[in-house]
Structure 1
Amino acid sequence: MNRKLVLLLSLLYVAFMAYLFFHYRSTEESFKSTVAIGGMVCGAVPFLLALFTKLQFNLPIVISYLLFLVGSQYFGSILGWYGLGWWDTFMHFLSGAILAFSGIALYERLVHRDAEVEISPWIIFLFTLSFAAFGGVLWEIYEFSSDQFFDMTLQGGGNDDTMIDLISDTGGGLIIALWSGVRTKIKLKNKQEYPQLT
């Protein structure tokens, strides 16, 4: 079911961006039509992964990813909400939270269930927070590189913009990391008190 839903949601997003591409191309708005092409490519990623791999999808992460694309590409770039100032900060906060959820999903796939009893909730907290912060750092490297090599202005505010973005990424990741640490602590306590339920 998850795979079919991922295919459907991705196709809907790609179709929406394709419609926007043709619409903005007909009105000769090249920036918006270029963003729509990027939207089609980004929206196709979950579709192609679902179609050509045997990955098990974490549906909340895929939905969050597509909502992030809507927020950044459609609202932010096409409708111009990045000009509001706070929208970029909000999107970085949201991406930090999404990356943290991705870190949790990665951790749960990599660590054997029997080993979870031996792992401190602090390790899960630190892994989740670090995963989100590292994703933010990679994005800022991308922005810096694009500005340097392709004469773009992704870091419009220079160092201030970079630091606000990194703080926002870390803030979003911190909230989810705290939640994951507390959730793990509760799960461990329940396993110790009620071993027959596990």
Structure 2
Amino acid sequence: MKTKRNYGFNDYFELFLYALAVICSIYFLIRGDMQRTLQPILIILVLTFIKVLINKSRIPISTGLRFSVLAFIFVTMFFANEFKGYSFIPYLDKIEHLSSGVILFYIGSLILELINKNETNKLNVKTIILFSLFFAIAMAGVWEIYEFTTDRLFGLRSQNNSLVDTMGDIICGSIGAIFTSIYAYKNFKVNFKVSSEVIGDSDNL
């Protein structure tokens, strides 16, 4: 007998993003704005790809990580691009980098769990927190290396040829990771896996 699934906040949030994407696509299609018509379709593809990837790989995604990814998609793909948030929200780019630090911290925790599998609960709490924190900070730097490389190779202006912009992005990502590490450390409970302890219970899709 198939058990009835209990829907949580993330499930409804994801459904909201799907519905919003459909509404936006239809609305901008009627208005003749093809770029903003196709953007929601891309969002639907991204959401679907993530869902299929997680289901097929059976990666234990936590509630916190799933929410962070969905929120990041909403801010970057909907608010910033579809609704032109960059034009009226100062430092929106920095807000995105702050939230990316949160996601990268969660991903670091997940990677550590996958590497250690059933041995994660034997790791020291500080080891888990510090690994996730340093992973997030390192990835913030790697992203800026990627932007620098594409700017140089393809003549883009992702970094605006500015060291201040680059360092600001890294600092924002690091701050997001630091605050997440503090939250995670305070909510850490003994004798549970890192996916439950650090970033919430596993969120089945």
TM-score grouping bracket, smaller chain normalisation: 0.7 to 0.9
Unaligned runs of 5+ in 2: 192-205
Which amino acid in structure 2 is aligned with residue 96 of structure 1? G
Cα deviation digits, residues 155-180 of structure 1 (max 9, x gap): 24632221111100011111222344
How far is the alpha carbon of 1:66 from its aligned partner?
A: 0.8
Preserved contact between residue 25 and residue 37 of structure 2 (Cα < 8 Å): yes
Higher relative contact order (CA 8 A, sep 6+): 2
* Distance 1:88-1:58 versus aligned 2 partners, 3 A rule: same
Aligned residue for 1:89? 94
Which amino acid in structure 2 is aligned with residue 176 of structure 1? T
Any idea what SS the aligned residue of 1:111 has? helix
Cα deviation digits, residues 109-159 of structure 1 (max 9, x gap): 433555644x44332232111221233233323433443445443324632
Cα deviation digits, residues 11-66 of structure 1 (max 9, x gap): 55234324323332332334423432432232222322245343333232112211
Looking at secondary structure, tell me which structure has more helix per residue: 1
User: Take 1:16 and 1:7, find their aligned partners in 2: how far apart are those partners?
Assistant: 14
Aligned residue for 2:37? 33
Which amino acid in structure 2 is aligned with residue 165 of structure 1? D
Unaligned runs of 5+ in 1: 189-198
Question: Are residue 80 (structure 1) and residue 108 (structure 2) matched?
Answer: no
Preserved contact between residue 96 and residue 170 of structure 1 (Cα < 8 Å): yes
Any idea what SS the aligned residue of 1:187 has? coil
Identity %: 21
How far is the alpha carbon of 1:70 from its aligned partner?
A: 0.6
Which amino acid in structure 2 is aligned with residue 132 of structure 1? A
Aligned residue for 2:125? 121
User: Take 1:64 and 1:85, find their aligned partners in 2: how far apart are those partners?
Assistant: 22
**Among candidates 133, 139, 145, match of residue 143 of structure 2:** 139
Which amino acid in structure 2 is aligned with residue 13 of structure 1? L
* TM-score, normalization by structure 1: 0.73
Deviant stretches of 4+, over 6 Å: 2-8
After superposition, where does 1:1-198 map in structure 2 within 5 Å?
Answer: 1=5, 10=14, 12-83=16-87, 84-111=89-116, 116-117=121-122, 119-156=123-160, 158-181=162-185, 183=187, 187=190
Equivalent pairs counted in the alignment come to 186
* TM-score, normalization by structure 2: 0.71
**For the aligned residues, what is the CA RMSD?**
3.2
